[in-house]
Amino acid sequence: MEISSGKIAGHGAAGSANHAMPTRVLGKTGARVSILAFGGGSRFLSYATEDAAVRALTRALDLGITYVDTADNYGDHVSEQRVGIAIEGRRDNLFLATKLTNRDGRQSRRIVEESLRALRVDSVDLLQIHALTDAADLAAVEAVGGPLDEIRKMCDQKMTRFIGITSHCDPEVLKTALDRHDFDCTLMALNAGRMAMKNVEGGVLPDPSIRSFETVALPVALRKNMGVLAMKAYGQEALVGRASVEHLLYYSLSLPVAAAVVGMPKLEHIEENVRLAKAFRELSAAEMSEVAARVSRWAA
């Protein structure tokens, strides 16, 4: 796994905020991104005001995060609007990703145009089909004139540089999608619990009955040299306390991924996650197995 940094602090080193953020190449895109990515979902929306959210993202960018992840349905473009304000004047130094939620291809262009307006940009680096769920959902994505067809057209028209797909709840259906299509990138749930996530009222939670993107979908993405992003390293905080925050983040980052997308609802979370990322030490296979066993015992 190629990692580049001006200096990478030792495991648990103090003062790591003074060191450069490690970066990795995002698969076939060739883009180099920070190993810690800023998640623009529910945790970003939890900032009480637009000003507070913009300050938080600005701080993350100042600390070296270069990958920003958002989506059209994060507050009906509210997350994208906040991101757009924060990145104004610094777009050239960022890898900007958003997602398309709808499954009606007739609406796809309009929604993506709304996303671009909210983000205050003419194009994004990565546009992804958002939150693939099951076989019927994949069929809707793949339908003639459906969102995947429309996203490909938008890529041809330079509205996005790359295209991708995400899933947090069904490794098998994501595997099928990755096998069938040559996406540039994919974002999937990759955590020490080796478990998918399930949709519940008000959010998502770990689903110990479904395992695992790591063994089912990830190998396909790697075989096709897709850029892989990890999400749900902390299982929407449900895994925190089952293993240390450090081990949870380092587990995801020790997989063959370019970055971990993390939601950080408080400034102190940004500072801590950046500190850990800058001090990253790849876990050994034995350490990863031990952390996974500890989390899995809780989930059993």
Q: How many angstroms separate the CA atoms of 267 and 55, rounded?
A: 9
Question: Which residue do the tokens 């810690």 mark?
Answer: 36
CA distances from residue 106 to 102, 114, 132, 138 in whole angstroms, order as listed: 10, 14, 19, 17
Q: How many angstroms separate the CA atoms of 15 and 94, rounded?
A: 25
Residues 6+ apart with CB under 8 A from 143: 105, 149
Query: What share of the chain has pLDDT > 70, as a percent?
Result: 94
- Average pLDDT of span 127-151: 98
Burial readout 184-223 (b: 16 or more C-beta within 10 A, e: otherwise): bbbbbbbbbbbbbbeeeeeebbbbbebbbbbebbbebbee
The whole-number pLDDT of residue 300 equals 63
pLDDT in tens, 46-95: 999 999 999 999 999 999 999 999 999 999 999 999 999 999 999 998 99
Q: 77: alpha, beta or left, given left = phi > 0 and alpha = psi -120 to 50?
A: left
What confidence category does residue 265 fall into, taking pLDDT thresholds of 50, 70 and 90? very high
Q: How many angstroms separate the CA atoms of 300 and 281, rounded?
A: 28
pLDDT in tens, 85-113: 999 999 998 999 999 999 999 999 999 99
